A and B are shown apart, each in its own frame.
Chain A
């Protein structure tokens, strides 16, 4: 009896600590909601009523609204490019399936391991010579390189669960390689492609280290505005933009979960 009771107690203790950990992980994020409603011009908890002025600022203040549009444009272009190149590459590597592909794969995954500060420096030095500094294209190219490995991983995971015989069957029935790709392979690995695209979008949208090196005045992304606000004088608009982004993430996760259940 006692032996049976003891593991149950230790299980409760472990579960309790697990929830404490989750509170540590999530509670600080909840704080941005009240702070975003403060009527003051500085960072504070709302004590004398609430105000939505900091949310309005995101739309009316050009510094915020322009940077949001710039970040959206960069993240969209990056997602399209990285998803296209990464997916093609993953399928190509899967088809080749030789020893060479192992080395290629490690090489392409490099941007995940190299510290961001090191590749930001590398981009900066090379982008000076290519005349890409402070251009939209310069940022998109850097972000695409960083995001390709994310797509490669998610698509490769999907491909590892895909039955090669389906492809062979389609080919033996006379489908051309492009048709096989379009009608058989891509629809079957769509979940992997979509999560790769989602990772790319979020990564590019949030990326700040490379952008700090590659841009100055012409291209200003949202993370740069947040960064400047945090390192100089904290503007409560940061709380408003944080609240919006946390809510958007919650909605995206909820949609994803319900879609998966259907």
Chain B
């Protein structure tokens, strides 16, 4: 009996080994090396990390990153909340259609989505041309190659990630609970504030984690829609490695970014609904 059990365990270990070895040797070790390099790379740990407080350029980059992340996350959460609620309220057939439409962009290249926004937002792009020809504005608005464009593109990218956990949470709310509150005399606003909203808080935290964490390290969309004028941390790391060859600064920033991501997950993660993040993603 124990012999066969050992055999089963051994087989299971053999099945796990290739993936685990690959992740440990070719992923986790390289990551640890980056953390290590941030201390050992010239001109040394103290000089590398003190830049966080002394370098004006770096200070601006970090401030820009945080500002864009907070604004993007806030807009994404509000819009996601309404859209998740709309999905929950819609009739079954319409809900299925809306759900597919929400998921569709997830399958599309981030580059193509950024390009689509470039075509819409450019000075002589679709939106400006339409507004000018309608006579609503005199001169084209500056919507791209600045923070406005970056935030529009980022919100667009993050929306499905914001909607899915919220929708998963709202779907599990028993409508009888809401009816009970209503029959006890609560008006619509009170039902929302005292019953519906509190039940959606775990989903809200899950959406927050996904949106905020993805925004912090986002590279592609800010680089394209910012057009080199809006520098966020990820692009700055890339410039340090590819152009100025400052490995000390690059690895230090990568380490700070990684630790920030883990700190956010650790701080907020206990309130989140992890099942909605990891499981049930594929309805």
Contact = CB atoms under 8 A, between A and B. Distances in A.
B112 interface: yes
B28 A32 contact: no
Interface string B82-124: 1101110110000000101111110111111111111110101
Interface stretch (B19-27, B49-57, B198-206): B19-27
A79 interface: no
Nearest to A151: B19
B277 to A, nearest CB: 9
A179 B260 CA distance: 47
A49 interface: no
Contact of B156 (A24, A153, A154): A24
A111 B261 CA distance: 12
A208 interface: yes
Nearest to B214: A115
Nearest to B84: A18
A60 B89 CA distance: 49
B138 interface: no
B26 A126 contact: yes
B20 A104 contact: yes
Interface in A234-258: 234, 238-239, 241-242, 245-246, 249-250, 252-253, 257
Contacts of B43: none
B173 to A, nearest CB: 15
Interface residues of A, number: 89
A145 B25 CA distance: 10
A35 interface: yes
Contacts of A116: 217, 219, 234
A85 B87 CA distance: 36
B16 A7 contact: no
Contact of B113 (A28, A114, A153): A28
A86 interface: yes
A56 interface: no
B98 A118 contact: no
Interface string B257-283: 110011001000000000000111110
Contact of B188 (A6, A35, A115): A6
Contacts of A35: 119
Interface in A94-141: 95-96, 104, 107-111, 113-119, 121-126, 141
Contacts of A141: 22, 26
A22 B114 CA distance: 17
A122 B250 CA distance: 11
A50 interface: no
**Nearest 6 interchain pairs by C-beta:** A18-B86, A115-B217, A92-B15, A89-B19, A122-B30, A92-B16
Given A118-B237, A206-B109, A208-B111, 11 more contacts: A15-B90, A18-B85, A89-B15, A89-B16, A96-B9, A115-B257, A116-B219, A125-B30, A126-B26, A206-B110, A253-B103
27 contacts: A21-B82, A21-B159, A24-B159, A88-B15, A89-B19, A89-B20, A92-B15, A95-B8, A96-B13, A104-B16, A114-B258, A118-B31, A118-B217, A119-B31, A122-B30, A125-B37, A126-B29, A142-B26, A145-B23, A148-B22, A154-B282, A206-B111, A208-B110, A227-B220, A234-B118, A245-B108, A253-B104
